[in-house]
């Protein structure tokens, strides 16, 4: 009925969409903390926008392999892959910076419950590791 790679693509796209939804919920939780200095600014608005767009791309890829089709088109495919990679890196960068800023002593009012795993994961990561994750996730997303 379905090939192994089709099932793997569906599972990977579902996990990707859920991950983007989790990132968006993290940013929404920061935004709701009105006494927090991080609740406003470009990171919040852009993070929610990019997270929502990536979540939509993941959901669309569950039902039809749009990424596989678009990546084969000569000019459009390479532009789409580059835009996807830039958006993914932007989201990872925003999450990374927010996590590191929450851990600072002057942002003690920004502590969040329920996102400790995400914050702990990103506190120890550098920008270079975000680039590595972006490359790995993009390669798997488009060639699975």
**Three-point CA angle 108, 112, 116, nearest 5°:** 110
At residue 51, the pLDDT reads: 94
- Contact between 119 and 112 (Cβ < 8 Å): yes
Average pLDDT over residues 59-76: 82
Average pLDDT over residues 29-42: 82
In the numeric block, the tokens 């270079």 are attached to: 128
- Parent domain of 122: 4-143
Average pLDDT over residues 82-101: 93
Task: Say what percent of the chain tops pLDDT 90.
Answer: 46
- Contact between 50 and 26 (Cβ < 8 Å): no
Looking at the structure of the chain, the number of domains it has is 1
- Contact between 130 and 59 (Cβ < 8 Å): no
pTM of the model: 0.89
């Amino acid at each position: 009925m379905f090939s192994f790679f089709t099932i793997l693509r569906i599972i990977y796209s579902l996990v990707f969409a859920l991950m983007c939804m989790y990132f968006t919920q993290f940013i929404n939780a920061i935004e709701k903390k009105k006494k927090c200095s991080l609740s406003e600014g470009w990171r919040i608005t852009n993070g929610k926008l990019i997270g929502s767009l990536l979540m939509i791309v993941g959901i669309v890829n569950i039902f039809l392999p749009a990424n596989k089709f678009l990546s084969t088109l000569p000019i459009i495919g390479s532009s789409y892959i580059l835009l996807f990679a830039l958006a993914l890196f932007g989201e990872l960068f925003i999450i990374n910076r927010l996590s590191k800023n929450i851990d600072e002593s002057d942002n003690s009012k920004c502590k969040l419950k329920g996102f400790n795993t995400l914050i702990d994961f990103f506190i120890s990561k550098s920008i270079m590791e975000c680039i590595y994750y972006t490359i790995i996730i993009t390669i798997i997303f488009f060639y699975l």
